[in-house]
């Protein structure tokens, strides 16, 4: 009896995951999410690039002294 309950729960979870992926695929939500992330990821990349360049310049200035 317990085995049937466990199998039923596993089947329900698998069906729910399948339906979730179907909805994501149907509405193209993965690409919409990726498009929404472009702006903050670009801002973070530029911020970290500027930080790396400033650190590199500071190290070069200390080596010249």
Structure tokens that stand for 29 in this block: 């939500």
Element (H, E) at 46: helix 29-64
pLDDT (tens digit per residue) in 20-49: 999 999 999 999 999 999 999 999 999 998
Structure tokens that stand for 2 in this block: 């317990």
Report field, pTM of the whole predicted structure over 0.85: no
Structure tokens that stand for 65 in this block: 């002294």
pLDDT (tens digit per residue) in 12-22: 999 999 999 99
For the chain, the domains span 2-64
């Amino acid at each position: 009896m317990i085995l049937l309950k466990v199998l039923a729960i596993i089947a329900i979870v698998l069906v729910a995951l399948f339906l979730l992926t179907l909805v994501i695929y149907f509405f193209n939500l993965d690409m919409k999410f990726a498009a929404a992330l472009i702006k903050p990821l670009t801002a973070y990349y530029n911020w970290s690039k500027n930080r790396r360049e400033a650190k590199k310049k500071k190290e070069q200035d200390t080596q010249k002294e």
